[in-house]
Chain A
Amino acid sequence: MDTALQSLVEQVQAAVASHTPLCIRGSGSKDFYGNLPQGQVLDVRHWQGIVDYDPSELVITARAGTSLALLETMLAEQDQMLAFEPPHFGPAATVGGCVAAGLAGPRRASAGTTQGAVRDFVLGTRLLDGRARQLRFGGTVIKNVAGYDVSRLLAGSLGILGVILEVSLKVLPRPRAELTLQQDCDEAAALLRCNQWGGQPLPLSATHWHNGVLSVRLAGAEAAVREAAAVLGGQQLPAANAAQFWTALREQSADFFAGDLPLWRVSVPSTAVPLGFDAPQCIEWSGAQRWLRSDLPAAQLRARANQLGGHATLFRGGDRSISVFTPVSSAVLRVHRGLKAEFDPAGIFNPGRLIQGL
């Protein structure tokens, strides 16, 4: 066995024996996310490397500690990409952290395709569970329904079921053309427009609304982008500015995200009416992801999100001793407890990170 893997296995065995909680960690770029990290750090960065990449198979397999930037560079060299456009939130972000956090970027709600979440592109995983077993789920082919789809369950699991050792991700060709348009409109109009466009065969690959300006990115075949631009109208951003704009949004380095006010992520149906809070807001994913800067009580924000059919997460800052995620129903919690008991019977992995007390 590789020494880096051997070391992970031994650390897990020791933690199980001594009932020591472990905090699974790559570069720590997403330490800010989820309930407060607890436990002794289990550093997965040494377990790194691209295991396999065959561009014509549209699949890349990498160990958890592999640099996300490196992986994306390799894909770019073949004119391919991770189509969920993951935020890195730090220069040393790892592939394992990307999948465990399950966060997707602006491309999440691309029109015309139903795929955009991290889990949509997870094809297979290897997992080191709480019995120090090395498990393998899924595989490297796009269609695969053998056994329960545990691989996709791990996307966004925040490490509570075990250490993700390796992932196989479906990749896509980069669009041949890309173009960003901006137009002035108010919040309600922006929501309506984005949803109406989403119902038409237009190659929308990202939308953003903030302070009366709606920005739309088109991506696809040259002809499709050109035609759609004519339909949508608005001011075209120069390519370099457009790239910067979407990167700043994805990485939350844009001005909107600066300062100390708590950052809330409100996930609602894209057609939900404006939230109606007197707080700075930016809207992505055609209305399905709404960022708020606010120190309003969690209960108030969650009640509104719930009323609109969604949920609210304290994404960054604020008081993390509250549950940062909206609590799940009792039936769903029952299944969570069952899964946790099966995969991590000693309860050592990332305790409480996803759900308090679990």
Chain B
Amino acid sequence: MHNAVVVQHPELIAALRAVLPAGALLVEPEDTQPWECDGLTLIRQRPMAVVLPDTEEQVVQVLQLCHAHGVPVVPRGAGTGLAGSAMPNAEGVLLAMARFNRVLSVDALARTATVQPGVRNLAVSDAAAPYGLYYAPDPSSQIACTIGGNVAENSGGVHCLKYGLTLHNVMRVRGWLVDGTPIEFGGLALDAPGLDLLAVMIGSEGMLAVIAEVTVRLVPKPQLARCIMASFADVAQAGDAVAALIAAGIIPAGLEMLDQAASRLVEPFANAGYDLDAAAVLLCESDGTPAEVAEEIERMCSVLRAAGATRLQVSADETERLRFWAGRKNAFPAAGRAAPAYYCTDGTIPRKHIGTMLKAIAAMEMRFGLACPNVFHAGDGNLHPLVLFDDSDPDSVARAEAFGAEILEESVRLGGTITGEHGVGMEKINQMCSQFDADSLEAFRGVKRAFDPAGTLNPGKVVPSLHRCAEYGRQRVSAGRVAFPELPRF
């Protein structure tokens, strides 16, 4: 997608200049161009202006001015998001919150940390480490992504099955509504009176409120973690092994799968020692006290063996455990090395359909003429297919996008969702028409209006318009009714 013409608003720019320090307002094309996309580089748009406030007063003034002029505001953290949720608006202001990067407090007894939205995910755990605590959600971008962005996207990671998503690890968010009105969601107690607005704020992709401060929960660092690397001769068998572990009452700390193409892709890069002859490799981790881990690893091994694992290797020490993980965690950079570009989506399906999905993806590889190694969070059915393509060839780009979209459609068909942790943003907005019926989409618009009646906070993301769904031609029809009867058809 290409840049739309940027709309100028000299009056607003002058007003912003008056309230922001020098260097905190960017309007020239050469200055705003570096901000034209987030981690989803396929879609780019220069904003009218970028603002980089460093005090809360400045943020409030920016919001009030934009609101008074009816100008859209798009909040942004580190810009590592993969769905285009922070893609700028041609008529709007990009509100970069990266300068709010201080850890305000760590309360070891209460096991909480209060941080500004621009603090990096890993920096929270670093601040908590002296107390034997850490922040559990660990998206793979954790060295760069910010807590503000994590809250906006409800980010996941490799330990969600046991430790939850961002949603489960945030207690309180303080911020502002789009007009600059201060608001607080949740609190330092375990609940707050009224509706649980915090639950709907988390994962709202910057469309409901702007974040000033976040209080997260910290959890004790497990004394020990050990990881099993299991080989399977068949991907369906590996999928069944995942179900067998859960059915045996085991909740692994991490449970990841790589198919053969993915193992072969990452091995030369990471030297993780993966079994390159196996059709699938499972990484299954246990954490806790030494006795607890020993007990669980033994149970896991016996389940995996019964499920047909052809080879089992248990990490002997921390170095080896990290080596096992190195392959999985370097899957994206390895894909970047193997092809000019890769396109990764994050559809999630019921675990029992993992085998079916992998077969469907294999068929798509043939049809679209592109390779697609698969890594995924097997414990929660969250796929990360890596479609390899050539971004200098428009035809290859188009095929990659169509490939990605089809995987999402298949995820919906299998009873899953188009996005497990990356968000909808701009990327998956069409597939929202497949996952939700017209009434439910209209209810989402209602939620948006309740927080932002004028619709100027990060507009046009996540929830497709009626028109867009009609154009996409995939709107759901429920209960035998015709969807969008009000629209003309040809």
Q: Which residues of A contact B (CB under 8 A)?
A: 1, 54-59, 79-80, 102, 108-109, 111-115, 117, 119-120, 129, 133-137, 139-150, 152-153, 155-157, 160-161, 172-174, 176, 192, 195-196, 198-202, 220-224, 226-227, 267-271, 285, 288-289, 309-311, 313, 325-329, 331-339, 341-343, 354-355
Interface window among B13-21, B70-78, B128-136, B386-394: B128-136
The reply to whether A310 and B220 form a contact with Cβ atoms under 8 Å apart is no
> Scoring B residues 389 to 432 as 1 if CB is less than 8 Å from chain A, else 0, what string do you get?
00000000000000000000000000111111111100010001
User: Do the beta carbons of B437 and A145 come within 8 Å of each other?
Assistant: no
User: Residue on B with the closest CB to A162?
Assistant: B443
Give chain A nearest CB distance to B3 CB in angstroms.
Answer: 27
A289-B190 CB under 8 A given contacts A143-B377, A147-B463: yes
- Which residue of A113, A201, A227 contacts B162 across the interface (Cβ within 8 Å)? A113
Q: Is the CB–CB distance between A342 and B217 below 8 Å?
A: no
Say yes or no for B199: interface residue by CB 8 A criterion. yes
**Which residues of the partner chain B approach A141 to less than 8 Å between Cβ atoms?**
348-350, 380-381, 415-417, 420
Per the bound structure, the CA–CA distance linking A117 and B196 in Å amounts to 11
Give Cα distance in the complex from A334 to B453, angstroms. Answer: 11
Task: Decide if A331 touches B203 in the complex (CB within 8 Å).
Answer: no
How many Å from the CB of A228 to the closest CB on chain B? 8
- Residues of A within 8 Å of B203, CB to CB, are 145, 148-149
Contact assessment for B417 and A135 in the assembled complex, using a CB-CB cutoff below 8 Å: no
Contact B199 A135 (CB under 8 A): no
Is B270 on the interface with A (CB-CB < 8 A)?
no
For B439, the chain A residues whose CB sits under 8 A away are 133-135
Rounded to whole Å, the gap between the CB of A108 and the closest CB of chain B is 7
Task: Give the distance to chain B from A167, nearest Cβ to Cβ, in Å.
Answer: 14
Between A and B, 6 residue pairs with Cβ closer than 8 Å are A129-B443, A140-B350, A143-B381, A336-B195, A342-B449, A343-B443
Q: Are B183 and A331 in contact (CB under 8 A)?
A: yes
Complex CA gap A201/B221 in Å reads 7
Spell out B's residues near A (CB within 8 Å): 107-111, 131-133, 136, 153-154, 156, 160-165, 167-169, 177, 181-185, 187-197, 199-200, 202-204, 208, 217, 219-223, 243-244, 246-247, 249-251, 288-289, 291-292, 294-296, 348-352, 377, 380-382, 415-424, 428, 432, 435-437, 439-444, 446-451, 453, 462-463, 478-479
Query: CB within 8 A of A311: which of B193, B294, B295, B444?
Result: B193
What is the distance, in angstroms, from B433's C-beta to the closest C-beta of chain A? 11
Contact B432 A147 (CB under 8 A): yes
With both beta carbons as reference points, the residue of chain A lying nearest to B199 in the complex is identified as: A152
Chain A positions within 8 Å of B131 at CB level: 199
Instruction: Find chain B residues with CB under 8 A from A117 CB.
Output: 190-191
CB-CB under 8 A for A310 and B189, given A114-B219, A145-B423: yes
Q: How far is the CA of A77 from the CA of B175 in the complex (A)?
A: 45
Give the complex CA separation of A259 and B382 in angstroms.
Answer: 51
Q: Would A143 and B191 be within 8 Å (CB), given that A56-B247, A155-B196, A338-B451 are in contact? A: no
Neighbouring B residues of A146 by C-beta, 8 Å:
417-419, 424, 428, 432, 435-436
> Are B352 and A149 within 8 A (Cβ)?
no
Contact B189 A335 (CB under 8 A): no
Say whether A199 contacts B446, CB under 8 Å: no
In Å, the complex CA distance between A111 and B349 comes to 29
C-alpha gap A285/B447 in the complex (Å): 32
Chain B residues with CB below 8 A from A342, complex form: 443, 446-447, 449-450
Contact between B156 and A143 (Cβ–Cβ < 8 Å)? yes
CB distance from A222 to the nearest CB of B (A): 7
Bound form: Cα–Cα A172–B168 in Å: 15
Q: Is there an interface contact between A227 and B194, defined as CB atoms closer than 8 Å? A: no
Query: Which one of B153, B189, B220, B451 lies within 8 Å of A145 (CB-CB)?
Result: B153
Pairwise interchain contact A227-B289, C-beta atoms closer than 8 A: yes
Q: Assess whether A56 is in contact with B244, with CB atoms less than 8 Å apart.
A: yes
Q: Which of B108, B189, B250, B419 contacts A268 (CB 8 A)?
A: B189
Q: Can you name the residue of chain B whose Cβ is closest to the Cβ of A123?
A: B417
Q: Known A-B contacts: A56-B244, A220-B288, A222-B295. Give 10 more (CB < 8 A).
A: A54-B350, A56-B352, A119-B196, A146-B417, A147-B444, A199-B132, A269-B110, A335-B177, A339-B446, A341-B450
- Kindly provide the distance from the CB of B239 to the nearest chain A CB, expressed in whole angstroms: 11
Given A112-B219, A224-B289, A195-B110 contact (CB < 8 Å):
yes
Enumerate the 8 nearest inter-chain pairs by beta-carbon distance, A residue then B residue, closest first: A338-B450, A342-B446, A173-B249, A143-B420, A223-B291, A152-B199, A310-B189, A224-B292
Set A114, A331, A354: member contacting B182, Cβ < 8 A: A331
Contacts of A311 in B (CB 8 A): 187, 189, 192-193
Residues of B within 8 A of A161 (CB): 195
Q: Which of A176, A221, A270, A354 contacts B194 (CB 8 A)?
A: A354
Residues of B within 8 A of A343 (CB): 443, 446
* CA–CA, A137 and B200, complex, Å: 12
- Contact, CB under 8 Å: B195 / A354: yes
Give the CA-CA distance A5 to B177 in the complex, in Å. Answer: 38
Partner of B440, one of A135, A142, A152: A135
CB of B187 within 8 A of CB of A309, answer: yes
Tell me the complex Cα distance, A192–B109, Å: 8
- Asked if residues A335 and B450 are in contact (CB atoms below 8 Å), the reply is yes
